[in-house]
Structures are given as C-alpha cells and as structure tokens.
Amino acid sequence: MKIKLKMEDILVTEATSVTEKFLTTGCLNLDRILKGGVPCRGITQVYGAAGTGKTQLALQLCLTVQLPITAGGLGAGAIYICTETAFPSRRLQQLIENSEIAKTYSTSGDVIFVNHIATIDELESCLQHKVPILMNTHKIGLLVIDSIAAPYRVEDWKGSRAKNLRNVGRQLHELCKNNDLCVICINQVSAVMDNHSYTSEGVDEQPALGFTWSSMITTSLYFYRRVSSRYACVMLASHLPKITFQFEVLVTFVVWYSANILASNGSVVLTSIFAISQFSINLEESNAT
C-alpha cells in the first residue's frame, strides 16, 4: 500500500544531514549560548510584546550578515519585509554610526533591501517573486519579516488562514533549503487561555497564529519583560536546551546585556555579561520592539 503525502501535511521535524551554518549575533557570549548564533536552516521565530527588543535584534543581524564568513557573517546582504510599521531607518543609522561592528568591518545600509507589504496576497507574491529575483541578482544571507502576524490580523482570512500560512511557510523553507539563508520571522503574542506556563517565570503569552504556523517553525525565541527586567527564552531548538536568560539594556554608547542563564527547572547554570548591540539609543523614547 502506498501512502501519498501532501506537502502541507509534512511538519518541520526532519533532521538534516547537512552541516549547519550559523549567523553570528555580533556577541561572542550570546553566540555561545545559541551554540553558534542564529541557524541558517528553517525558520527562526522571535516573538514577544512590543518593546522587548525583537526588532533591535533583527537590525543587528542586518549588519552581522554583512561580515565575512571568517567573522561569523555570510558576506551578504539582507531583505527586510515590513508588514505593519515603517522600516526603522533612524535606528539602523544609529547602529551603523555607533556599532563597533560597523567600525571594524565595511557594513552599511546599501545592501539592506526593504519592502513594505500590507496584505496576505502581497506577502505571498513578495516571497514567490520579488525575493527570488533579488536573491538571483544579489548575494542575500538574511530575510526578516516584521511581523508575520500583522497581515493576518487586518484581513478576514477565516476560511483560508491555515492554507495561506502553509504557503508562506513552504515558500520560506524553499528559500533557505540550501542552508545559506537565515530566515527571521518576528511574531506578536496572544494571551494564554489556560494555566499552562511556558517558562519558569510563569509566562502568560504565546506566539500568534496558532498551531499551523508553529508547526512550520524550527527555532523559537521568546522575548518578554517582568516589571523592569527583560528576559529571553529559547522555546524551541533542536540543538539547544530550553533556557531563559535575563538581560539589561543600558542607555550608553555600548548596550550591555547581563544574563543569568536558567535551566528549565529554574536553576542558574551560567552567568555572564555581554554586549549584543553596540549603539547609543534611548529605548524608552524609541519604543524598541
């Protein structure tokens, strides 16, 4: 008896025999925590409420992807798809002007290609046509969608959401199948309706778009705040344990993150202080996401 599987029935759970590539975050200690940086395989989801640092990390990666391979980069440019707000060009410029990465290496905004879309159809068309064309004419190592949930929240997609999400997921996996493109999807959050806790801190949020989208994800990082403290949690990664680390953003020339790495049982397994993004910016005024 033969069983014929449809592509949409296949979840992203396959092991890969190809040696994985990673994109550096620009921070040695954070790269160590992530066992190399952000994987250039599958879809990495970064989700959390507004003001938790998601977009800031994405902008940092837009610079590190330009670094040579010997420095942890891919020697390539980035595509940044905005779906809900204008591209944060001012924040990127501040990063370029003040980051040690930009001072040490030749990085700029010239190889960061920005596209604004507002609808589900535009997103699918962009991934199916515009992105491949750009990848054929330029060396691209990073694709950011900020955010993946926005188009689905402004349209009446009741009957076709699952199908559209699978289409987008398949397109993204097709784009990065050769292990040389890092895909970052920033996602919003929704409230958890039961008592299930995702982290040792009793988190009451979950990524938007539900199971259909989550089944397409290969790596998931959760950014959140508790009172005046910021945390990041590795929620899903085949090569990483589930860990939570606390970080602090200081409004100085160098933005330092102070991290207590917690195992899933809450015990501290590593403590370190490191710089992830090096630039001068008032995060409260900019409402960094």
* CA–CA dist 77, 137 (Å, integer): 11
Kindly tell me if the per-residue pLDDT of 279 is higher than 50. no
* CA–CA dist 229, 206 (Å, integer): 19
CA 245 centroid distance within chain:
17
CB of 62 closer than 8 Å to CB of 79: no
Which tokens hold the place of 201?
A: 């801190």
Q: Classify strands 140-146 and 77-82 as parallel, antiparallel or unpaired.
A: parallel
**Whole-prediction pTM:** 0.80
The verdict on domain 22-286 having CATH code 3.40.50.300 is: yes
Task: Give residue for tokens 């940092």.
Answer: 60
CB of 143 closer than 8 Å to CB of 81: yes
Query: Mean of the pLDDT values across residues 191-206?
Result: 59
10-63 pLDDT, tens digit per residue, is 444 344 445 789 999 887 777 888 899 999 989 999 999 998 889 988 998 999
Task: Give residue for tokens 């998931």.
Answer: 220
CA 60 centroid distance within chain:
11
Q: Classify strands 189-191 and 205-207 as parallel, antiparallel or unpaired.
A: antiparallel
Which tokens hold the place of 39?
A: 């994987």
Q: Count other Cβ atoms within 10 Å, centred on residue 282.
A: 9
Kindly tell me if the per-residue pLDDT of 68 is higher than 70. yes
Query: Which pLDDT score, from 0 to 100, does residue 7 have?
Result: 43
* CA–CA dist 169, 188 (Å, integer): 17
88-128 pLDDT, tens digit per residue, is 999 888 888 877 788 889 899 999 999 999 999 999 999 99
Distances (CA, A) of 255 to 1, 14, 146: 60, 37, 22
Query: Which pLDDT score, from 0 to 100, does residue 203 have?
Result: 58
Q: Count other Cβ atoms within 10 Å, centred on residue 183.
A: 23
